Amino acid sequence: MSLDLIQMVLATVLAAATPLVIAALGELVTERAGVLNLGVEGMMVCGAAIGFAAAVESGSTLVGALAGIGAGMALSALFGLLTVGLAANQVASGLALTILGLGLSGLVGAGYVGLKREPAPHLHLPVLSDLPGIGRLVFGQDGFVYAGIALAIGVSWFLWRTRGGLILRAIGDDHTATHSLGLSVRGVRFLAVLFGGACAGLAGAYLSLAYTPFWAPAMTAGRGWIALALVVFASWRPARVVGGAILFGGATVLQLHAQASGIGLPGQLLSALPYLATILALVLLSLGRRRGGSQAPAALGRDFTPHR
Amino acid sequence: MASEAGPLFGAYGIVKRFGAFTANDHIDLEIRAGEIHALLGENGAGKSTLMKILYGLLEPTEGVVTHRGETVRLGSPEAARRLGIGMVFQHFSLCENLTVAENIALVMERGLSRADLARRIAALGDTYGLHLEPDRPVWSLSAGERQRIEIVRCLLQDPKLVILDEPTSVLTPGEAEVLFTVLERLRDEGRALLYISHRLDEVRRLCARATILRAGKVVGACDPRAESAASLAAMMVGEEVREVAAAPGAAAGPERLRLDRLSLPAPRLHATALRDITLAIRGGEILGIAGIAGNGQAELFAALSGETTVPAEAVRIDGEPAGHLGINARRRLGAAFVPEERNGHAAAPGLSLSDNIVLSRHATAPLTRFGLVRRAAARALAASVSTAFDVRKAGPDPAAGTLSGGNLQKFVVGREILAEPGLLVVDQPTWGVDAAAAARIRQALIDLAARGSAVLVISQDLDELFEIAGRIAVLHGGSLSPPVARAETSREAVGLLMGGAGTSSETAHAA
């Protein structure tokens, strides 16, 4: 295989992994604060529809991406109001959010089905982007991919190196204890939910603006659920989320090539391969390190109502 | 320590209402620098509410808090900390999956580097003898070490007032001694301490002044050193606490329980393995098992109750091999069990009292018919338990979790005792229970034994065991010492066994 072919394959893997990385990192932050938002799929698909609509109307990919973020945040704000503000059941609210998001995106996107846009522009630096072997892979991606990488580094840094990240993790671990120290449990949780929504919306916008630059109903095709699973199997660690997403992207590309070359296995089985591979790898990873304490944020999914 | 012109902190006319319930009713409290001030009261007297107001966690409905004579507003714990108020919580406010340093950093000022924090933790540890490993996760630490984190976190703020809520309730006698030394030193440095406890001997030893609360009101103030434990208890309860009638001596009834070389591997990481426990209890006697928490009490209770099954011959109930039997089968043999944890183990907090009756009694009482619950019978039984044990509750059949600790404990003990079991195994019967409820529970255990039942009491409270048990054995590291008649042993001797018969450096608690 030539160097350029390898580079092309790796670039497609990265492209397939990016929406998962972005959505899963957002959900990771939400869950680290102790809130389980099962509405990722709904927020993502709304981000895709509204992001695409805004980009078509304005002619700007950036406006589309911002609209996608806004859509995700708006939905997550509703979720936050219910679960953080009113202590409603998180599982039921999250599932409802997904259904709402799927319906809402169909409504908003109805007028845009079949429209095509240019995909988001790729970076092009003189000399660097034309370097053989790595130029396009490293210096020739679209803005979403770089945003995903920046997000992964930023989330890691925030969670483990800043006071805010420490407070967020503490609140996800024990909301009673942190409340009695005077930390704002509900405030931090609401912000974390908003961040998760923004990321899910951005991930959705990536799908309709860059990955496949058109809108089709339910085009997220379960990626929101994969992102949720990634967070769990990555034991709430950003680096593992990135690794898991790349593995998933790799398996996706691999099965596409396998189907194209007709190796005789049923296509459905091959389509299931990325999901199986990702789950298997992450399960093996989490098996290796049993110890005391809990890997999951201990207060995950439990609601909190302070006395005053 | 002579007090200055006025009190360091004052709380005047504090009223706190939760709906129709008045938790604090016009409470006045003055705390001076350089004194350890005791706040005494039964469960539900309003101590915790008052503390939370002083720490900014609750806003009083009425009343003012003053600092050096000036009115201050404690809108949040952060505001309280800025005024120099620190708090050591009873049920530690620590995040188990964070490290020691991370838990402390949560309340430190912004921009403090990890290295600086570690240095300050170490320096403070040297000053007060409170050493911590900053990078250990909290879940791996003992109760005593956790409390050390709380205290260090509090002292790093250089507080002028330290509030301690039941600080010794989870400590071994040795750990408590270390704590007292620290507290006396803090007092000598001129800090004020507010000490909440219902262990009256501690209060009498440490505190120069005491404020006594009952039902949300201040009912008295005194110098606890000039009072007896009985007179303090009387002030708390508002009546003389009934002396528990003498415990029965050696029993002559039939053998009710026999443990024969009961061994059990540790079920989990951090659990204790049981080693060759041999024991026999006759009807009419109370046998006490002393020991510091974590020496196999939970594992022994599980093996006795049938939550963990063991070889059939290892446990005999009324002569029947029962080791292989589950909980209900053992109950049908006439045994009954009260686990340590009220909420979640002995009772399901979200279920009503009558449902909780069904949970533990369905195998032995006629509470079901054709697999359906007989609600009326369950309610009647719950009502008779409540009446017999003076369980105070809101409404005829409230959720178990709405009862105060003492009342729920009376309920779960009463539920088993009213079944007239031939054998009762009870773990920590009066943990965290106020004096009046504790006396009632102990008397009920003594009366049960007097009616011919065998009672096995697992407790960390030596005073309790010496009050009610005829024989006392000590569980240490999963092994049980031979039981000794109460008259032939002493607190010191038992305390030594609890610490591993002098092999450990821990000092026995000389009460």
Cβ–Cβ gap A307/B78 under 8 Å: no
Cα–Cα dist B436/B312, whole Å = 40
* Phi then psi dihedrals of residue B188, to 5 deg: -65, -25
Cβ–Cβ gap A182/B77 under 8 Å: yes
- Let me know whether B249 and B322 are in one domain: yes
Cβ–Cβ gap B103/A170 under 8 Å: yes
Measured over the CA atoms of residue B33, residue B38, residue B44 and residue B45, the dihedral's sign is negative
pLDDT of the residue at A175:
92
Give B403: exposed, middle or buried? Use CB within 10 Å, 0-12, 13-18, 19+. Answer: buried
Closest CA of chain B from A170, distance in Å: 6
Cα–Cα dist B183/A87, whole Å = 40
pLDDT of the residue at A291:
56
pLDDT of the residue at A191:
97
Query: Which amino acid, B30?
Result: E
Contacting B residues, span 120-149, partner chain A, CB-CB under 8 Å: 137, 139-140
Give me the mean pLDDT over the B250-264 stretch. Answer: 86
Q: What percent of chain B has pLDDT over 70?
A: 93
Q: Would you write out chain A's pLDDT as a tens digit for each of its 308 residues?
A: 577 788 888 888 999 999 999 999 999 999 999 999 999 999 999 999 999 999 999 999 999 999 999 999 999 999 999 999 999 999 999 999 999 999 999 999 999 998 988 888 888 888 787 777 777 788 888 889 999 999 999 999 999 999 999 999 999 999 999 998 989 999 999 999 999 999 999 999 999 999 999 999 999 988 999 999 889 888 899 999 999 899 888 888 888 888 888 777 787 888 888 878 877 876 776 665 555 566 788 889 888 887 65
Maximal C-alpha separation, chain B: 75
Decide: A51 and A67 in contact? Cβ < 8 Å. yes
Cα–Cα dist A110/B39, whole Å = 68
Cα–Cα dist B201/A127, whole Å = 82
Residue A46 located in a structural domain: yes
Residue A76 located in a structural domain: yes
pLDDT of the residue at B239:
63
- Binned at pLDDT 50, 70 and 90, residue B495 comes out as confident
Decide: B322 and B316 in contact? Cβ < 8 Å. yes
> Helix H segments across B239-322?
297-305
- The top-scoring range by mean pLDDT among B36-40, B108-112, B235-239, B403-407 is B36-40
Residues of B in Cβ contact (< 8 Å) with A176: 93
Q: Please identify, among B400, B419, B438, the residue that sits at the C-terminal boundary of a domain.
A: B419
Give B366: exposed, middle or buried? Use CB within 10 Å, 0-12, 13-18, 19+. Answer: exposed
Residues of A in Cβ contact (< 8 Å) with B77: 180-182
Which residue among A178, A182, A307 sits closest to B95, beta carbon to beta carbon? A178
- The top-scoring range by mean pLDDT among A216-230, B228-242, B264-278 is A216-230
Decide: B412 and B347 in contact? Cβ < 8 Å. yes
Residue B397 located in a structural domain: yes
CA distances from B115 to B1, B98, B118, B124, B134 (A): 37, 17, 5, 14, 10
Closest CA of chain B from A157, distance in Å: 15
Is B62 at the interface with chain A, CB within 8 A?
A: no
Cα–Cα dist A14/A210, whole Å = 12
Residue B322 located in a structural domain: yes
> Based on the structure, what is the number of domains in chain B?
3
> Helix H segments across B418-469?
435-450, 462-468
- Let me know whether B145 and B66 are in one domain: yes
Residue A12 located in a structural domain: yes
Q: Please identify, among B419, B442, B470, the residue that sits at the C-terminal boundary of a domain.
A: B419
Cβ–Cβ gap A292/B140 under 8 Å: yes
Q: Please report the ipTM that was assigned to this predicted complex.
A: 0.85
Between A and B, how many residue pairs show a Cβ–Cβ distance under 8 A?
72
Site from A32, A171, A180 to mutate, B interface, most B CB atoms within 10 angstroms: A180
Give me the mean pLDDT over the B346-358 stretch. Answer: 91
Is B59 at the interface with chain A, CB within 8 A?
A: yes
Cα–Cα dist A10/A133, whole Å = 11
Residue where the block lists tokens 């992001």: A51
- Vertex A289 angle, CA A284 and A295, to 5°: 100
Residue B339 located in a structural domain: no
pLDDT of the residue at B506:
37
Residues of A in Cβ contact (< 8 Å) with B81: 182
- Is residue B217 left, alpha or beta, with left meaning phi > 0 and alpha meaning psi from -120 to 50? beta
- Let me know whether B354 and B477 are in one domain: no
Decide: B305 and B425 in contact? Cβ < 8 Å. yes
* Phi then psi dihedrals of residue B462, to 5 deg: -65, -40
Q: How many Cα atoms sit within 13 Å of A30 on the Cβ side?
A: 35
Tell me: pLDDT of B433 over 50: yes
Residues of B in Cβ contact (< 8 Å) with A294: 96-97, 139
- Binned at pLDDT 50, 70 and 90, residue B295 comes out as confident
pLDDT of the residue at B246:
61
Closest CA of chain B from A183, distance in Å: 8
Decide: B97 and B139 in contact? Cβ < 8 Å. yes
Under DSSP, is residue B423 helix (H, G, I), strand (E, B) or coil? strand
Tell me: pLDDT of B344 over 90: no
Maximal C-alpha separation, chain A: 67
Q: What percent of chain B has pLDDT over 90?
A: 47
Which residue among B18, B76, B95 sits closest to A173, beta carbon to beta carbon? B95
User: Which residue, among B510, B444, B473, has the nearest Cα to B247 in the 3D structure?
Assistant: B444
Nearest C-alpha in B relative to A290: B269
- Let me know whether B271 and B379 are in one domain: no
User: Two tokens at B36?
Assistant: 């350890």
* E-strand stretches of A177-240: none
Cα–Cα dist A227/A26, whole Å = 9
Residue A293 located in a structural domain: no
Cβ–Cβ gap A182/B269 under 8 Å: no
- Vertex B35 angle, CA B34 and B41, to 5°: 155
Residue A182 located in a structural domain: yes
User: Which residue, among A230, A301, A242, A304, has the nearest Cα to A30 in the 3D structure?
Assistant: A301
Cβ–Cβ gap B76/A293 under 8 Å: no
* Phi then psi dihedrals of residue B51, to 5 deg: -65, -40
- Is residue B495 left, alpha or beta, with left meaning phi > 0 and alpha meaning psi from -120 to 50? alpha
Cα–Cα dist B448/A12, whole Å = 76
Which residue among A174, A182, A294 sits closest to B56, beta carbon to beta carbon? A182
Tell me: pLDDT of B176 over 50: yes
Residue A296 located in a structural domain: no
User: Which residue, among B188, B154, B182, B158, has the nearest Cα to B168 in the 3D structure?
Assistant: B182
Residue where the block lists tokens 């002493």: B490
- DSSP letter at A142 equals B
Q: CB neighbours (10 Å) of residue B294?
A: 16
Residues of A in Cβ contact (< 8 Å) with B107: 181-182
What pLDDT digit, counting tens, does each position of A88-133 carry?
999 999 999 999 999 999 999 999 998 988 888 888 888 787 777 7
- Let me know whether B233 and B250 are in one domain: no
> Based on the structure, what is the number of domains in chain A?
1
Give me the mean pLDDT over the B208-228 stretch. Answer: 88
Q: Please identify, among B419, B448, B465, the residue that sits at the C-terminal boundary of a domain.
A: B419
Site from B98, B106, B153, B157 to mutate, A interface, most A CB atoms within 10 angstroms: B106
Cα–Cα dist B473/B397, whole Å = 39
pLDDT of the residue at B1:
41
Range of the domain at B197: 9-237
Cβ–Cβ gap B105/A176 under 8 Å: no
Decide: B85 and B161 in contact? Cβ < 8 Å. yes
Measured over the CA atoms of residue B231, residue B45, residue B13 and residue B35, the dihedral's sign is positive
CA distances from A60 to A56, A117, A127, A180 (A): 7, 10, 27, 48
- Let me know whether B222 and B307 are in one domain: no
Element (H, E) at A16: helix A3-32
Task: Give the 3-state DSSP-derived string for B184-208, with helices as H, strands as E and coil as C.
Answer: HHHHHCCCEEEEECCCHHHHHHHCC
Site from B95, B98, B107, B140 to mutate, A interface, most A CB atoms within 10 angstroms: B95
Query: Which amino acid, A250?
Result: G
Cβ–Cβ gap A166/B105 under 8 Å: yes
First to last CA, chain B: 26
User: Which residue, among A77, A112, A95, has the nearest Cα to A39 in the 3D structure?
Assistant: A95
Tell me: pLDDT of B194 over 90: yes
Nearest C-alpha in A relative to B52: A180
Cβ–Cβ gap A166/B59 under 8 Å: no
Mean pLDDT in chain B? 86
Range of the domain at A182: 3-222
Cβ–Cβ gap B106/A181 under 8 Å: yes
Cα–Cα dist A118/A209, whole Å = 8
Residue where the block lists tokens 């994969």: A226
Contacting B residues, span 406-465, partner chain A, CB-CB under 8 Å: none
Query: Which amino acid, B153?
Result: R
- Let me know whether B308 and B369 are in one domain: no
Decide: A196 and A29 in contact? Cβ < 8 Å. yes
Closest CA of chain B from A294, distance in Å: 7
Under DSSP, is residue A23 helix (H, G, I), strand (E, B) or coil? helix
Q: What are the beta bridge partners of residue B352? A: B399
User: Two tokens at B507?
Assistant: 């000092």
Is B369 at the interface with chain A, CB within 8 A?
A: no
Residue B109 located in a structural domain: yes
Cβ–Cβ gap A180/B77 under 8 Å: yes
- Let me know whether B28 and B75 are in one domain: yes
Residues of A in Cβ contact (< 8 Å) with B95: 169-170, 173-174, 177-178, 298
Identify the CATH number of the domain in which residue B492 sits.
3.40.50.300
Cα–Cα dist A270/B353, whole Å = 56
pLDDT of the residue at B502:
41
Residues of B in Cβ contact (< 8 Å) with A182: 56-57, 76-78, 80-81, 107
Give me the mean pLDDT over the B443-468 stretch. Answer: 90
User: Which residue, among B81, B458, B413, B498, has the nearest Cα to B298 in the 3D structure?
Assistant: B458
- Binned at pLDDT 50, 70 and 90, residue B508 comes out as very low
Residue where the block lists tokens 């009292």: B353
pLDDT of the residue at B322:
93
Give me the mean pLDDT over the B302-324 stretch. Answer: 92
- Let me know whether B257 and B358 are in one domain: no
Residues of B in Cβ contact (< 8 Å) with A166: 98, 102, 105-106
Residue A253 located in a structural domain: no
Site from A159, A161, A162, A173 to mutate, B interface, most B CB atoms within 10 angstroms: A173
- Let me know whether B325 and B364 are in one domain: no
- Let me know whether B287 and B190 are in one domain: no
User: Which residue, among B150, B58, B94, has the nearest Cα to A306 in the 3D structure?
Assistant: B58
Give me the mean pLDDT over the B215-238 stretch. Answer: 83
- Let me know whether B313 and B399 are in one domain: no
Tell me: pLDDT of B275 over 80: yes
Residue where the block lists tokens 């809520």: B165
